[in-house]
Structure 1
Amino acid sequence: MYTQSSVPAMRTVDIDGLPVGDGHPTRVMSVLNMSSNSGYKPSVYLDPAEAAEAIENTLVPAGADIVDVGLQSANPKYESKPVEKELDRLEEVAPLVDELDADVPLSLETRYAEVAEAAIGYGFDLINDVCGFADPEMKSVVEAHDMPVVKMASPPDLAAPGALKTMDELFEALQRDGFTDQTIIDPAFGGWYDGKEFADNWELFRRLREFRAFGRPMLTATNREDFLGDLAGRPETADQLAVSLAAATMEAERGSHIIRTHDTKETHDVVKVADALGDERTVRAETDPGPTVAELTDVTVREVERNQSLGETLAGETGDGATLTFLLGDLAEDEAASVRAVAEVVDVVLVEKSSGALYLGGSAAAVKVVADSLAEDGHRELAGTLRESLSRRV
């Protein structure tokens, strides 16, 4: 009997009918600040009617897939507002939901579970948690409503959103308290606090692909960040459009599924080109029948190690998995058994992720042996998908 796992290679998160994840276009999240303490004034709209007009007449026509509403700035140069202030401001701006005619999901940026629950009641479609479940009630609130949520890498401190420095700290923060089925991760670019320097953000950017190890959609927010402007000698926020667009291109290529921006039109054009001309990959979304396969490109040894740290290595050495690499999900039991069996006798790395998906990596010759073995066992669809990738890479 054909029995499938319920675990796709990459989870897709549905935001009010908008799918986000591998096999879907890169989405553009437009920033709409409804607080006066924003560092970028062109994105500020204090009146709900004016905000609705801006969304309908400017942001959506420019290409916004999601609009992220902010009630206070997460930048540490501004004093953090308590939950009562956010609730009061949310009540003032909530009429935006009813006044808006455009069919676009609305995100609410917050750090408080009480604010998130109120926003869900008002009709918001996504919670953008800039403190990464630091509020101990946040996870249970969004989970109870099956609400999509962005979890930003952050310490368990409601007054210090994103205040982390190293890659290991970022991974540990995202792993802390786990995820819901509808969680999108955010690796937390930016200055955030005195100890984090431009070099730390550059290192994070270079190693962005490592976050694919979570097997979850990823949001990145680097628009008009000083760590990009510094590279081109553009310290002023107003002069950082070009560097932001250069970064957005690479973010889409390195695994970002949502790019948060103040510059909607320009970023929309960038991700269209990046999606069309980026690395061609073998991807079958979980909406299609059969096993789901996502090819990962430009895999480093460190990314293999990240995948091993988030799962159980069933076969192979770390160095075997940095040439051609795939995430396999929704496998029938006999398909998974065949993959495990051939991995024991071929120089590949095979990791069973905590989600249940299989991470397979190896040289072109080794992957060909896996594909041939799968075909001999009668798993021609899965074998054909692996061979499709080989035909382009070899």
Structure 2
Amino acid sequence: MRTVDAAGLPIGDEHPPRIMGVLNVSKESPYSPSVFDDPEAAAAYVDEELIGEGADIVDVGLESANKRFEVLSAEEELERLDTAVAAMEASSGDAVFSIETRYHEVADAALSRGFDMVNDICGFADPEMPAVCAAHDAAVVKMASPPDLQRPGAVEDVDDIYDALALNGFTDKTIVDPAFGGWSDEKTLEDDRETFRRLREFRGYGHPILVSINRKNFLREVAGRDTEAALPVSLAATSMAVERGAHVVRTHDVAETRDAALIGKEFARDRVRRDAAGDEGEAVSVEELDVTTAGEAARHIDRVGGDPALAGQAVTRTVEFSGLDPEEIGALRAAVAESSAFIVGDAGTALVVGTPAGLRNISAAASGVSDGLDAALRALRGVTE
């Protein structure tokens, strides 16, 4: 996993989770506490409510991303850029300033006038965007999106989201965003929840991950909360997202989100990274990847040019069978003996440890002994995905 330098702010596994606070200079934006058209008032909000509460990055939006509104043209966004620049210049706080846009012209103008990074909500649908960001040596958030400047984030299937992130490639300083939220009428809350469950897969590109989940519908529905009461579910999800490998959390609730992110980081499993001198004195890096499923393994294997079909051999599962009679345990032991897995225990209870591929083979080999064992083996196949 690479570390991205965003104007001196390192973003990656070996650094604290970064908090991106939100400022909008778009009157149509739905979250009114963050919307300003007066630069001095905007700067005060940035200094007190964002940077003062712990934001590392301030993301300035020029228009609402709500699909109910007409998309602004690049010219219309540029007309609003003066307010964004004035607010940035009036701020006395120390933070990285990001401009949210889909247009390379706006990104170029903003970076030329003092912004540090770009948040591209259309994921390089503008093919000139990566070149502009690279020319400015600027970090850029790339949100998964169709190749259409009018349809940011309107991707439903998780596999399609992953593929959309590859649109027009990556810069050396790209941060990926899997695009949570109701970006299209077709995208369901369950689609977002499935994306969240599979969040580790997006580490497969080797770039840091940003999540924007603050008070989102897919979390609110779980607890039956409206927007005003949704902060607790956002904070719970923030800790989980960081534990699953997210590096930047975009939020309107900076102080609370910062605390939740730090808890997620504290209790995340350490990823082992060691550097040593090779035969010719070159640095040799070893990193334990954060892989828990075959799907996650497939992403990393594909990234380095391997066969994703090998992913079933790249992780292990430990499962417990209980209530087995001697004949059923015997069948299970015989099936395990023909695989690379192992089995321990008896007297009705057994632990089986193996790869998903090995467990699938065991499931096939041990079937047919009894209805009870067959039912257990069908359940076993469910944990091999």
TM-score when normalising by structure 1? 0.76
Other-structure match for 1:122:
113
Q: Does 1:301 align with 2:291?
A: no
Match of 1:167 among 158, 161, 174: 158
- Structure 2 alignment gaps of length 5 or more: 277-281, 318-339, 341-352, 356-385
How well do the aligned residues superpose, as a CA RMSD in angstroms?
Answer: 2.2
Q: What residue number does 2:241 align with?
A: 251
User: Counterparts of 2:64 and 2:118 in 1: how far apart (Å)?
Assistant: 15
Match of 1:106 in 2: 97
CA contact 1:153–1:171 (8 Å) conserved in 2:
yes
Quick check: 1:200 aligned with 2:191? yes
| Displacement after TM superposition at 1:363 (Å) | 8.1
Q: Matched residue of 2:306: which SS?
A: strand
Q: SS state of the match for residue 165, structure 2?
A: helix
**Local SS of the residue matching 1:56:** helix
Residues 321, 42 of structure 1: CA spacing in aligned structure 2 closer, same or farther, 3 A cutoff?
same
1:57/1:285 Cα in 2 relative to 1: closer, same or farther (>3 Å)? Answer: farther
Residue 149 of structure 1 corresponds to 140
Secondary structure, aligned partner of 2:147: coil
Give, as a single letter, the amino acid of the residue that structure 2 aligns with 1:163: A
For residues 35-184 of structure 1, the aligned pairs below 5 Å read: 35-184=26-175
- AA aligned to 2:300 is N
The residue identity in structure 2 corresponding to 1:177 is: N
Note the C-alpha offset of 1:298.
Answer: 5.0
Deviations 1:147-179 (A, max 9, x none): 110110001111110010001211221112110
Name the structure 1 match of 2:329: none
| Residue in structure 1 matched with residue 305 of structure 2 by the alignment | 312
Q: Which residue of 1 aligns with 2:232?
A: 242
Answer whether contact 1:90 1:119 (CA < 8 A) is retained.
yes
Structure 2: how far apart are the matches of 1:126 and 1:162? 20
Q: Percent identity?
A: 49
Does structure 2 conserve the Cα–Cα contact (< 8 Å) formed by 1:281 and 1:294?
yes
Does the 8 A contact of 1:298 with 1:323 survive in 2?
A: no
Matches within 5 A, 1:213-232: 213-232=204-223
What secondary structure sits across from 1:108 in the alignment? strand
Corresponding residue SS for 1:313: coil
Q: Would the alpha carbon gap of residues 363 and 146 (structure 1) be closer, same or farther in structure 2, given more than 3 Å must change?
A: farther
Q: Secondary structure at the match of 1:312?
A: coil
Runs of 4+ in 1 over 6 A off after TM superposition: none
How many pairs were matched up? 316
Closer/same/farther in 2, CA of residues 212 and 315 from structure 1, 3 Å limit: closer
Instruction: Give the whole-Å Cα distance in 1 for the aligned partners of 2:26 and 2:64.
Output: 7
Distance in 1 between residues matched to 2:220 and 2:85, nearest whole Å: 35
Q: Which moved more, 1:81-90 or 1:271-280?
A: 271-280
CA offset digits 1:264-295 (Å, max 9, x no partner)? 01001111222222223324599xx9433332
Change (3 A) 1:168 1:285: farther
Structure 2 residue identity aligned to 1:123: G
Point out where structure 1 has 5 or more consecutive residues left out of the alignment.
1-9, 325-346, 348-361, 365-394
Instruction: Verify: 1:190 aligned to 2:181, yes or no.
Output: yes
Conserved 8 A contact 2:299-2:308: no
Q: What is the alpha-carbon distance in structure 2 between the residues aligned to residue 316 and residue 169 of structure 1? A: 19
Q: One-letter code of the match for 1:307?
A: H
Larger Cα Rg: Structure 1 or Structure 2?
2
TM-fit CA distance, 1:59: 1.4
Retained in 1: the 8 A contact 2:298–2:310? Answer: no
